[in-house]
Amino acid sequence: MARWDEILSLPVQNPPSLEFSAADLVWSKVEGWRDNIDRVALIPYARVDDFVRGESSNKDCPTRFHVEARRKRPLEMAYKPKVDGILEYILYWCSFGPDDHRKGGIVRPSRTNYVPKKNNAGRPNTKRGCTCHFIVKRLIAEPSVALIIYNQDKHVDKKGVPCHGPQDKKAAGTRAMFAPYISEDLRLRVLSLLYVGVSVETIMQRHNECVERQGGPTNRDDLLTHRYVRRQERSIRRSTYELDADDEISIDMWVESHQSHVFFYEEFSDSEPFTLGIQTEWQLQQMIRFGNHSLVASDSRFGTNKLKYPIHSLLVFNSDNKAIPVAWIIAPAFGSTDTHRWMRALYNRVCTKDPSWKLAGFIVDDPLADVLAIRDVFQCSVLLCFWRLRHAWHKNLVKRCQETAMRVEMAGQLGQAVDSICRGNGNMDLFQSFMDDFVEARHFMDYFKAVWYPRIGSWTAALKNLPLASQETCAAMEFYHNQLKLRLLNEDNTSAYQRADWLVDKLGTTVHAFFWLDEYSEKEDFSRYRKDEWASGLTSWRNALKIPDSDVKLEGKFAIITSQTHRDIVHIVWNPGSVFSLCDCDWADMGYLCEHVFKVIKVCRERGSALPSISLFQYKRALLDMLHCPPHDSLVRDHAISLAVFIEKQLSSLIDEGSSNITNKPQSIRVISENQGGDLVEERNENSSSSSDGHNCVDTSETPGRTTENLGGHLTDMAVEPNGFCNETGKENCGKMDVDGPSICSLTPRLLHVEEAPSNGFLLEKRGSDSISKTTDVVNAPSLGGNDLADFKA
Ligand SMILES: [Zn+2]
Ligand SMILES: [Zn+2]
């Protein structure tokens, strides 16, 4: 009995890495299991797979663990309430055991019908009597927790001799040197290449060339077989999206067989419309990697006109600030889906993997987005990106207004209207006068009145109230939108678009594969297969950085810019300096912001002929507002000083960082900031609860440097990738600042309202104090864990 008390009082360990192994856990020894001393640890039940994966990629002895035995208690089954009752029991065994098919090895009686194959090319004879195994128990007393019991943690056979891996001398030169199966990464790579149409032969040829270059096989992945790839190819070829003639039943079946890709599913009911949230394991990893302390953007509707159900994508930005889709939500366009529920499900899924995961800002592209739900779930600021509006206007101007002079003027006036509203000097009347001024452009006006005028009120309100995302974000969203169009809507038979099962299948296979390959560094090896769908490269914003100033000539009402691909061609950019510029290149003709427009904006700003961007303007205004807000009592003032000093430090380190280094240096500032933010929250809570002692606050404000250094020193290995803060040159500060300005700018106004502060913004969120203690755990894991154990023993 005492043993169970001991076990249940152990800490539940949740390492922050995507996968983790026994080495990342603190193990407690427990006596009494058949006189053995077992090593036990508690982890969240939802992370058992992460542990199994981590254990499999053991550096000293790579392997794979399979489920050797499993018992599950049916939910309805009555049980006696006892402390050690279990819901589920899973025995994981090293795949090199437990049987031993080596000469003279022991095979369990039930398996004696095994006949060793003469040729092991197909299914290598992997069983070598390995005894390494562990048990996972899910206890009735604590179903959210998994108890791991490690019985045998060495990869040895019954005699205690290493039986596979580098330690096993007999394994040298055979497959038993390596893990028995290929890695998840290679499996995904092969599948992705097959999905996008690369042939089995090409995959194998590239693979063999690569292995040859490195001088022979050095790990399991190098032993990829032609047969394996061909089998995958065949199963893809033979699969069909139409699992049932009835689309709804078909979707049900898809969900059933793709549980790991579904984070939310609700069938049609009287109260709720159909909603399906898709996120693969890889997408989850990208969301954790690029979303943490950074931004998520929402592309709220794709394919409204073409597809049965439009797609709502959630995007993160990689190190090139290109969008990667990390979740797709499919729901009917009509009726308001309860965003709160799928968002909560998604957030919980991410936090199960990484409890310290935290968003800095959420960018919406729809003025009717449920901002309250976003703030409630993600506890972060919400920004607005108007790319959808600008793109639609631009595209329709090109389509519906043939006369260049008129088109240019209309774009200019629309641009000024948006600009004035965002800078706080205008309202809806501006669009009314726009419609009055251009009555004669009938084609466009009919469109504008029908489609946009009914929505312009909500757009105006959103442009006024939400901080604006940068132009680089617009460029990334447009780029993604175009990629998705090329990769999804390319069916010969367009009747498929009216089936939801086709949509989920295509997203989960081909479309996912293309986005996976975008992040795969050796994608170029297959570039001769390049079709439109492969379109990759950088966003137009990033491409603009490569255009030399000397290629730009400003001529008053327009600018002339030399093409980078064909030096004998020039492009004309009308309305230079505005995001409502019009260019005559192909990309701009489709309604997108092209590199020429961005380059001209940059040149105009440098020469002072264009205003700084709206996001930079809003950022500066927020700083000024903060300066002019006198705190109403002395304690609040102390708190305000500490925050102001902290933010000032944060900003100057960003600028230092920006001017002193280029990409790839870990970006530790945001991590530091959160911890210090946590500090401040703690301070503040103390103050508000005891309301007696103000000097804690003052301490913080006097010594932020010290805190920063300490935390910074410890936390560098937790640092996130630079994502927009790092600048290639000092000159680009301004332009780059556009990217992240809003996330800061949206925070600063909130800092004024101290009452509101703890529940809003990412600096001062409720869990701030939680996260600091968790982070400390991570930093000091070994010693802390040791202490815990000592306490437990005592
Ligand atoms: Zn083993
Ligand atoms: Zn252009």
Cα separation, 438 vs 693, in Å, equals 64
pLDDT over 70 percentage in the chain:
77
Between residues 328 and 172, the one the model is more confident about: 328
Lay out the sheet containing 28-33: strands in order across.
28-33, 36-44, 145-152, 133-139, 86-94, 65-72
CA of 220 to the centre of ligand 1 (A): 15
**Residue 594: nearest ligand to its CA?**
2
Identify the pLDDT of residue 688: 38
The mean of the pLDDT values for the chain is 79
**Residue 544: nearest ligand to its CA?**
2
**Residue 543: nearest ligand to its CA?**
2
**Residue 178: nearest ligand to its CA?**
1
Which residues lie across from 33 on neighbouring strands? 36
**Residue 162: nearest ligand to its CA?**
1
Question: Can you list the positions of beta strands (E) in 335-434?
Answer: 361-364, 381-384
CA of 591 to the centre of ligand 2 (A): 10
**Residue 581: nearest ligand to its CA?**
2
Lowest-confidence pick of 58-72, 83-97, 648-662: 648-662
One-letter amino acid identity for 258? Answer: H
Lowest-confidence pick of 51-65, 179-193, 436-450, 740-754: 740-754
CA of 14 to the centre of ligand 1 (A): 25
Q: Which pLDDT tens digit goes with each residue over 111-162?
A: 556 565 554 443 445 788 899 999 999 988 888 899 999 888 889 988 888 8
Whether the bond into 704 is cis, omega within 30 of 0:
no
* Residue 736 in this model has a pLDDT that exceeds 80: no
Element (H, E) at 138: strand 133-139
Most trustworthy range by pLDDT among 30-39, 166-175, 759-768: 166-175
**Residue 572: nearest ligand to its CA?**
2
Contact indicator for 757, 750 with CB cutoff of 8 Å: yes
CA of 143 to the centre of ligand 1 (A): 29
* Residue 364 in this model has a pLDDT that exceeds 60: yes
Cα separation, 753 vs 106, in Å, equals 72
CA of 281 to the centre of ligand 1 (A): 26
Burial 475-506 (b: 16+ CB within 10 A, else e): bbbbbbbbbbbebbeeeeeeebbebbbbbbbb
Cα separation, 744 vs 619, in Å, equals 7
CA of 352 to the centre of ligand 1 (A): 29
Which residues lie across from 553 on neighbouring strands? 560
CA of 56 to the centre of ligand 1 (A): 9
CA of 333 to the centre of ligand 1 (A): 52
CA of 120 to the centre of ligand 1 (A): 20
* Residue 482 in this model has a pLDDT that exceeds 60: yes
Mean pLDDT of 225-244: 93
**Residue 97: nearest ligand to its CA?**
1
Q: Which of 92, 237, 83, 96 is nearest to 155 (CA)?
A: 96
Q: Which pLDDT tens digit goes with each residue over 71-84?
A: 987 766 666 666 67
* Residue 56 in this model has a pLDDT that exceeds 60: yes
Identify the pLDDT of residue 115: 60
Q: Which pLDDT tens digit goes with each residue over 653-690?
A: 766 765 554 444 343 333 333 333 333 333 333 333 33
Lowest-confidence pick of 154-168, 233-247, 576-590: 154-168
CA of 481 to the centre of ligand 2 (A): 18
* Residue 718 in this model has a pLDDT that exceeds 50: no
* Residue 433 in this model has a pLDDT that exceeds 90: yes
**Residue 155: nearest ligand to its CA?**
1
pLDDT over 90 percentage in the chain:
46
CA of 563 to the centre of ligand 2 (A): 9
**Residue 128: nearest ligand to its CA?**
1
Mean pLDDT of 516-521: 88
Identify the pLDDT of residue 267: 85
Contact indicator for 552, 603 with CB cutoff of 8 Å: yes
Q: Which of 202, 176, 424, 385 is nearest to 297 (CA)?
A: 385
* Residue 254 in this model has a pLDDT that exceeds 80: yes
Q: Which pLDDT tens digit goes with each residue over 526-570?
A: 766 567 777 778 899 999 999 999 999 998 889 999 999 889 999
Residue with tokens 């040859």: 212
CA of 404 to the centre of ligand 2 (A): 15
* Residue 748 in this model has a pLDDT that exceeds 60: no
**Residue 60: nearest ligand to its CA?**
1
* Residue 740 in this model has a pLDDT that exceeds 60: no
CA of 458 to the centre of ligand 2 (A): 30
CA of 155 to the centre of ligand 1 (A): 4
Residue 794: band (very low, low, confident or very high) from pLDDT cuts 50, 70, 90: very low
pTM of the model: 0.77
**Residue 154: nearest ligand to its CA?**
1
DSSP per residue over 273-339, as a string?
--EEEE--HHHHHHHHHHHTTSEEEEEEEE-TTTSSS-EEEEEEE-TTS-EEEEEEEE--SSS---H
**Residue 163: nearest ligand to its CA?**
1
CA of 760 to the centre of ligand 2 (A): 40
Q: How far apart are the first and last CA of the chain?
A: 17
Residue 413: band (very low, low, confident or very high) from pLDDT cuts 50, 70, 90: very high
Both tokens assigned to 497: 């678009």
